[in-house]
Amino acid sequence: MCNILAGRVYSPPELPVYLETVSNLKPIVGTPKDEEVIGIHAVIRVANQAVNIPGMYDPVLLARLSEHLFEVQTARYWIRYPCSVFREGIAFTPPALPAHVSVNLETVTGAPSNEEIIKVQEAIRSYQQFSNVPSLFDPNINMDLSQHLFDIQMSRYMQRMSQSQSSPIVHGIARPSGPEVAERGNAPDEIAVVTNNAGTGAEADVGYDVSQPIGIHEVMERNNRLVEHANILMERSNQLVERSNQLIEEPHRPSEQSNTITEILNKLLEHSNEISKQFNKPIEQLGEALGRINKVLVGIQHAIVRNRKGNTIYAVDCLINEKGETLAETEILGTRSFQSVSEIYRSQGGKLRSPIIIDGSAFDAYIPDGWLGRLLSFYGIGENLWENKSARLLKGGREGTARIELSNYLSSCLG
């Protein structure tokens, strides 16, 4: 077994407060544990989501987190496949995927083909789409999928490295004696590899010496360079899916997350004030910037509501629109709440049913056709469905489409 990584310490970068609440990463000593690797993945997901928040995205921190994940995955690879740089035919078995992931992964033997790598990447993207639904997303499976992709990419690199080395191999005896033993004991950079067939006859006494010794540090250095590049490409492909996830993904720590959101809100307000001070810029540009910030603030308020445990239909009444108003403040539904309106019309059922996903569970709301236009106007959605925007009237026969539009919007806010 290779001992080059034994006792090594893998230190994460220093994290800002909002990432520490996700997972307070500590230095890893020796073999990385599952929960330590899962914590790194969780921090990277949230750090990627900050790309859409002005003043919060830190590409340098994200690069250092990716490097930390790469080092940890490299350590797990060498522990699982010790000295595999000199072996062929290793079987890499993917994790078992749940039924809601349609990709079928099979065991990869030796260096993978392009199609096999693409299928694993497709499986990762497909599975991470469920990361905002705790009942459908298992961090352990996500970690194992990422490690499986790393392992097969490493295997491909090992094959290329072995093909590029054309050094002649000299057969000899695996158990030299006398001065040669002492000399070899003083040469740490030489590698002697013995067959793994002990006790099977004459082959048990046959070994191989590389005529041109390769330093293990040099092998590791080459390995690190190529696999680091492959790992970065993998992380970039995952970003497209990860950026669509919720900003807060750990509902078991609502109080800490609320504090984090408040800190982000304060920073966004500070950023808004700085933009306002730049009065020499065109008013149109300033308005666009403030509009973007306002959308982010609305999204954060929705995240706070969504993060509360035990939400049901009543949570709709807590959501604000882009003007910062709630349904009760504007009396869109008169003096009634969204929940009470739904209860009143529940008996009519049928076409009035509007399913909403809240905290991963489906709830049925019942909205009469006459109020669909008001609700779409209040939330600023479905403009293509309006006959008269000022009167909040829908085009004839578009009630079904409007109901779907409203259900999808509320599900995205509370799901």
Q: Which residues does 262 contact at the CB level (< 8 Å), separation at least 6?
A: none
Q: Which segments of 278-314 does DSSP mark as H helices, in order? A: 283-306
Q: How many CB atoms lie within 10 A of CB 86?
A: 12
pLDDT at 250: 44
pLDDT at 190: 37
Token output for 401: 């489409």
Using the CB atoms, write b or e for 142-157: b if 16+ within 10 Å. bbbbbbbbbbbbbbbb
pLDDT at 144: 96
* Nearest Cα to Cα of residue 122 among 99, 105, 140: 105
* Nearest Cα to Cα of residue 53 among 355, 346, 261, 284: 261
Strands (E), 23-84: 28-29
Grouped pLDDT means (10 residues each) for the chain, 415 residues: 67 91 92 94 88 79 92 90 64 92 91 92 91 90 95 87 60 42 39 38 37 48 57 54 46 54 72 62 66 78 80 86 83 79 82 87 86 84 77 78 88 86
Going by the DSSP 8-state scheme, the letter that residue 54 receives in this structure is: T
Beta carbons of 328 and 354 less than 8 angstroms apart: no
pTM given for the model: 0.42
Q: How far apart are CA 203 and CA 347, in angstroms?
A: 81
pLDDT at 232: 62
% helix, strand, coil for the chain, step of 5: 55, 10, 35
